[in-house]
Amino acid sequence: MTSKRRPIAILKVVVVVVCVALFAASQPAAAAQKEGTQPTGTPKSRVRVVGTINSITGNTITVTTDTGSEVSVIIQPSTRLVRSVPGQTDLKSASPIQMPDLQVGDRLLAGGIASEDGKSVLAATGIVMKKADIVEKQEQDRAEWQKHGLAGVVKAIDAGTETIKISTGTLAAEKLTIHISKDTIIRRYAPDSVKFDDAKPGTLDQIKAGDQLRARGTRSAEGSELAAEEIVSGTFRNIAGTVVATDQGNNSVTVMDLATKRPVTLKLTTDSQMHKLPPMVAQRIAMRLKGITPGGPGGGAAAGSPRIADAERPSPGSGPGQRPGGAPDFQQMLGRMPAVTLADLQKGDALMIVATEGSANSPSTAIILLSGVEPILTAAPSQAGTILSPWNLSTGGVAGAMGDTP
């Protein structure tokens, strides 16, 4: 998703085997315990802690793990600390790092002995990834996705030939074939998350028609095929309807789905994109969906408002889902539209929404919410949802770092 958290790629940084080997080769826990403070309670078992450093006091590092819990990691004189960098697949070239070099925001994988209550770990080893290195890698990955990425809605999967056919979400959709190989990284979104970080390793057989997919790789000369280095997919909902009610306290909106004729309540988060189409832009999109070329008297956008023509200009290079001189990408235009808040939505307003599938225990979360779409729903209600697809991925961390999801 193009949002507060821009796209980045997925990359294994330190594999599990390397981490296990490092921990196995480290000094016995008993020796480490003799040289420093013991964790509270009787040592229980050898564990690994992976998370982000949120405070450092003396030789104790408080880490917020990837499951949201807090663990105190006690660094001893015997603790082996090394610095890894994104993209590093082993620790042969990892450089030693000292306790004073650690900072809040750095990533830490610590291995050692857990206290009986599990709230602290006496570290025998520690692998550190500096925050600045992660940010730099994110920038590189973002550029890579922008240059070599494309996205669309899955139309068909052929397991025999390991290919996926998709239709892009441009205003003039094009058909593309994605080729999968044994080296292709495949990830799958969680049903109740819009975060790329929450995507888990997946398989080709999990992908089905109607899913939304983004791929990165080498595109053929004619642009109709792509050899994928990496793909991520998920099952998402396209909803077109009108506002029934808003709930500021729960940060949610209830919409009457025009397709099912039933109300649906959607959560809104800081990752949800919320925009409003200016009337002239909505009318021009509606004309395109009806097969009418915008133009003529009154066809121009109002002064100061975003223009659909802006999205039609070829971008320098191959942006996601678009070749130079290719069809306009609605997602590119979406980012230029005025932002709206929950308080701006009124009962009866027409909306187009892309949302998570949700689950029995978690309602759907809005990924993209677009208001000001009355002309579009009137002109082509059956096509309205497709122009918001595919969603732009929300990717905020170096997924796969340190052997597990970071």
At 105, which CATH number?
A: 2.40.50.140
pLDDT band at 72 (very low <50, low <70, confident <90, very high): very high
The answer, as to whether pTM is greater than 0.75, is: no
Residue 110 belongs to a domain: yes
Do 244 and 375 belong together in one domain? yes
* Residue 221, domain CATH: 2.40.50.320
Instruction: Give yes or no: residues 66 and 172 share one domain.
Output: no
Residue 170: its pLDDT value, please?
Answer: 56
pLDDT over 50 at 276, yes or no:
yes
Q: Is residue 401 part of a domain?
A: no
pLDDT number for residue 308: 36
Q: CA 39, CA 70: separation in Å to the nearest integer?
A: 15
Q: From 195, 218, 235, give the residue that closes a domain.
A: 235
HEC sequence for the chain: CCCCCCCCCCCCCCCHHHHHHHHHHCCCHHHHHHCCCCCCCCCCCEEEEEEEEEEEECCEEEEEECCCCEEEEEEEEEEEEEEECCCCCCCCCCEECCHHHCCCCCEEEEEEEECCCCCEEEEEEEEEECHHHHHHHHHHHHHHHHHHEEEEEEEEEECCCCEEEEECCCCCCCEEEEECCCCCEEEECCCCCCEHHHCEECCHHHCCCCCEEEEEEEECCCCCEEEEEEEEEECEEEEEEEEEEEECCCCEEEEEECCCCEEEEEECCCCCEEEECCHHHHHHHHHHHCCCCCCCCCCCCCCCCCCHHHHHCCCCCCCCCCCCCCCCCHHHHHCCCCECCHHHCCCCCEEEEEEECCECCECCEEEEEEECCHHHHHHCCCCHHHHHCCCCCECCCCCCHHHCCC
**Confidence class of residue 129 from pLDDT cuts 50, 70 and 90?**
very high
Asked if residue 352 is part of any domain, the answer here is: yes
Say how far apart CA 387 and CA 329 lie, in whole Å. Answer: 9
Asked if the structure places residue 400 within a domain, the reply is no
242 and 222 in a common domain: no
Query: Do residues 259 and 380 both lie within one domain?
Result: yes
State which residues form the domain around 306: 237-388
Mean pLDDT of 36-50: 64
Total number of domains in the chain: 3
Query: Do 293 and 381 sit in the same domain of this protein?
Result: yes
Q: What pLDDT, on the 0 to 100 scale, is given for residue 284?
A: 87
pLDDT digits (tens, 9 = 90+) for 180-202: 999 999 999 877 666 666 788 99
Q: Which residue has the higher pLDDT, 331 or 121?
A: 121
Nearest to 243 by CA among 391, 104, 343: 343
- Torsion angle of alpha carbons 160, 161, 166, 172, nearest 10°? -140
pLDDT at 156: 95
Same domain for 378 and 255, yes or no, is yes
- Rounded to the nearest integer, the mean pLDDT of the chain is 76
**CA–centroid distance for 199 within its chain:** 7
Residue 43's pLDDT is 47
Same domain, 72 and 195: no
pLDDT confidence of residue 331 = 56
Is 403 among the domain residues? no
pLDDT at 368: 86
Q: What is the structure's pLDDT at 387? A: 62
Q: Do 378 and 298 share a domain, yes or no?
A: yes
Q: Tell which wins on pLDDT, 382 or 200.
A: 200
Is there a single domain that holds both residue 287 and residue 242?
yes
Residue 396 lies in a domain: no
**Per-residue confidence band for 135, with pLDDT thresholds at 50, 70 and 90:** confident
d(CA 63, CA 239) in angstroms, rounded, equals: 40
Share of the chain above pLDDT 70, in %: 69
Q: Are residues 109 and 122 in the same domain?
A: yes
Mean pLDDT of 62-83: 91
Mean pLDDT across 88-100: 82
36-50, 206-220, 314-328, 368-382: segment of lowest average pLDDT: 314-328
In terms of domains, do 89 and 111 share one? yes
**Among 100-109, 251-260, 322-331, 342-351, which stretch is predicted with the lowest mean pLDDT?**
322-331
Q: Tell whether 321 is covered by a domain.
A: yes
Question: Does 406 fall in a domain?
Answer: no
241 in the same domain as 229: no
Res 317 pLDDT > 60 = no
